[in-house]
Chains A and B, each alone.
Chain A
Amino acid sequence: MSYEEVILDHWRHPRNKGRLSQPDAAAVEANPLCGDVVRIELKTAEGKVAEARFEGEGCAISQAASSLLTELIQGKSVAEAAALTDEDLLRALGGVVRTRLSCALLPLRALRKALAGLREGTPPG
């Protein structure tokens, strides 16, 4: 049995969970078929991700991936955060079974949507 330790750890002790009072960017992605929902919020300063938060509901993999993702991007430049690939996140998670890739990558979709909003100057959704 058993998920990777990283996944279990982030699932049991989520980091950066909650909302920001005035995010500069935010977006929600959902997988309606299984009910996973993830919201990613960012505060930026001087071209950097000053703070990242997530909120969500769903399976251990999607929630652990969200928590881990906020850690990965915190302090990075906005450009670096935008350049984060699927493989980067999957590797950081210690690998994810192929039947569950859409769960693991849900927060990354939310992050990309939030960053696109930031670029286009649309107010955080």
Chain B
Amino acid sequence: MIEKRIRDDFPLLRRTVGGKPLVYLDSAATSLKPEAVIEAEAAFYREVGANVRRGVYELGAEATERYESARAKVAALLGAQADEVVFTRGTTEALNLAAWALGETIVEPGDEVLVTEMDHHANLLPWQELVRRKRARLSAIAVTAEGDLDLEDFRRKLSPRTRVVALPHVSNVLGTINPVPEVAAAAHEAGAVVVLDGAQSVPHMPVDVRELGADLLAFSGHKALGPTGIGVLWGKAELLRELPPLIVGGEMVREVWLTWARYDDPPARFEGGTPPIAQAVGLGAAVDYLQAIGMEEVRGHGERLTALALEGLLARPGVTVYGPKEASRRGALVALNLRGIHPHDVATLLDRQGIAIRAGHHCAQPLHRRLGIPASCRVSFHVYNTEDEVAQLLTAVDQVFQELS
């Protein structure tokens, strides 16, 4: 039971919405931030403030120290080396960088990139752009009726021309935890690079990049109790060394002449311009906060709440739940629909009770098309959510049925 002492750390949980206490069930979109994160970011501006890397004076050195210490914390979280951690603006930018860099190095006309039907647009559009630019081909691994990746379809589509396999670790709609080690092993055998969208996994469960076997992994700080504007692209050192930058300019070079330049080594090579320093420091504090709880415990809590929500929702005849039916096979989120009621109506009526859920296509239009629905409701959890909040959700769902059917 981690919820009691933890809730006090999140100032937003003291807020009311329309006179009701906030029940925040949209952490898959962005998480709330603990005081420690807000304070770490503010403290950077109050106590240090300087730019990183170029300062010869004391404050410049301190800024660089705090920035690099945040990098080391992220590396430890992922079981990686610090020089494998590139700071970006978020998952989207990290995946754009990955697609750009791989496109410049390993994708030739006629090659193939494999994505999945369950990808977030952030892990789809960069690959669409890449194949357009390189005159390569894009295909998508099918999703089964159960909401799993269709591994037979994967094996069928994987070919010696496949250069990249990009997939979500955890689907932001179905919740499915994909079998990454298995996919990575097959992809590597075919000579492909594996790019993992970790936006919904890294904030919620232990993630060890070596165990997973991926080559590149992206996630966002703001879904992991950290600030907005900061994210990470992790890459295997051997691979990162071969990749070109997407953003060029200051802070990422060794030597610059008027007509050419020699770029720095990773990770600096990929961090052109002044980075989001205070946000990186805030992310470091978020990692500390998560590590103090323990990622196993974070996962356990999310799984318990998801199991409760699933049990309650599946027991209600008018409710359709998407994705695997066992909490052990999913991340801390559940997408659903109420028969005959539009998701936006559900979200608006719940909002009137102070319950914040998401309704829409969750940046996964192709997946919703595959499911044959225009939109869905999604509830998602993090460390500060409680069993009581799940119970409130279920009661509110019954009330929506009463009101609109």
User: Are A and B a genuine interacting pair, yes or no?
Assistant: yes
Query: How far, in whole Å, are A34 and B83 apart by their CA atoms in the complex?
Result: 43
Interface string of B351-378 (1 = CB under 8 A from A): 1110000011100000000000111000
Interface: A50 (CB within 8 A): no
Interface: A8 (CB within 8 A): yes
Interface string of B338-361 (1 = CB under 8 A from A): 000111110011011100000111
A98 → chain B, closest Cβ, in Å? Answer: 11
Contact yes or no, B349 A3, CB < 8 A:
yes
Interface: B58 (CB within 8 A): no
Contact yes or no, B374 A34, CB < 8 A:
yes
Q: Which of A2, A58, A97 contacts B342 (CB 8 A)?
A: A58
With contacts A1-B399, A60-B342 taken as known, whether A11 is within 8 angstroms of B404 at the C-beta atoms is yes
Interface: A61 (CB within 8 A): yes
B376 → chain A, closest Cβ, in Å? Answer: 11
Nearest neighbor of B349 in chain A, beta-carbon distance: A1
Q: Which of B348, B353, B396 contacts A100 (CB 8 A)?
A: B348
A residues within 8 A CB of B396? Answer: 1
Interface: A59 (CB within 8 A): yes
With contacts A33-B361, A34-B375, A100-B348 taken as known, whether A1 is within 8 angstroms of B343 at the C-beta atoms is no
Contact yes or no, B345 A61, CB < 8 A:
yes
Interface: B403 (CB within 8 A): yes
Query: How far, in whole Å, are A100 and B348 apart by their CA atoms in the complex?
Result: 8
Contact yes or no, B403 A33, CB < 8 A:
no
- What class of interface size applies to chain A in its complex with B? 10 to 19
Nearest neighbor of A35 in chain B, beta-carbon distance: B374
The CB with the most chain B CB atoms within 10 A, among A8, A34, A100, is that of A34
Interface: A78 (CB within 8 A): no
A residues within 8 A CB of B399? Answer: 1
Contact yes or no, B342 A1, CB < 8 A:
no
B289 → chain A, closest Cβ, in Å? Answer: 31
A residues within 8 A CB of B374? Answer: 34-35
Interface: A28 (CB within 8 A): no
Contact yes or no, A60 B345, CB < 8 A:
yes
What are 9 A-B contacts with C-beta separation under 8 Å?
Answer: A1-B352, A11-B404, A33-B360, A34-B375, A58-B342, A59-B342, A59-B343, A59-B344, A60-B345
Interface of B toward A, CB cutoff 8 Å: 341-345, 348-349, 351-353, 359-361, 373-375, 396, 399-400, 403-404
Interface of A toward B, CB cutoff 8 Å: 1-3, 8, 11, 33-36, 58-61, 97, 99-100, 103
- The 9 lowest CB-CB distance pairs between A and B, nearest first, are A35-B374, A59-B342, A59-B344, A60-B345, A59-B345, A34-B375, A1-B349, A1-B399, A1-B352
List 9 other contacts, CB 8 Å, given A33-B375, A35-B342: A1-B352, A3-B349, A33-B361, A34-B342, A34-B344, A36-B342, A59-B344, A97-B348, A103-B344
